[in-house]
């Protein structure tokens, strides 16, 4: 069953963000993840939540997503995260096809 990492990002430093984004993308691909949403326009239809940008990554399953998050490959991206951005990040189980 797929699992999803959902991130609501506030960019702090554009140059550091590009470094983070490149390192994160490589680590995500290494662990079988793929981007479903990577920024783009967000329209709030209900409520007071106004995320920009929003990122959604699909992994084959929740355990693979957890392995990615705890990996040495992703740790290289985390080295620049605090300079690059602040965020809310969640992991959620998907539904069986």
What are the domain boundaries of the chain? 3-41+51-92
Residues with Cβ < 8 Å from 59, sequence gap 6 or more?
2, 3, 4, 5, 31, 32, 33, 65, 68
CB 53 within 8 A of CB 39: yes
Q: pTM here?
A: 0.92
Q: Tell me whether residue 24 is exposed, middle or buried, using C-beta atoms within 10 angstroms of its C-beta: 0 to 12, 13 to 18, 19 or more.
A: buried
Give residue-wise pLDDT tens across range 26-73. Answer: 999 999 999 999 988 999 999 999 888 899 999 999 999 999 999 999
Specify the CATH class of 3-41+51-92 in words. alpha beta
């Amino acid at each position: 069953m797929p699992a999803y990492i959902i991130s609501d990002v506030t960019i702090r430093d554009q140059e550091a963000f590009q470094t983070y984004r490149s390192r994160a993308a490589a680590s995500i691909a290494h662990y079988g993840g793929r981007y479903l949403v990577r920024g783009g326009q967000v329209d709030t239809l209900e409520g007071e939540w106004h995320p920009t940008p929003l990122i959604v990554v699909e992994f084959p399953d929740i355990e693979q997503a957890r392995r990615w998050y705890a990996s040495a490959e992703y740790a290289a991206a985390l080295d620049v995260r605090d300079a690059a951005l602040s965020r809310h990040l969640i992991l959620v189980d998907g539904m069986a096809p």
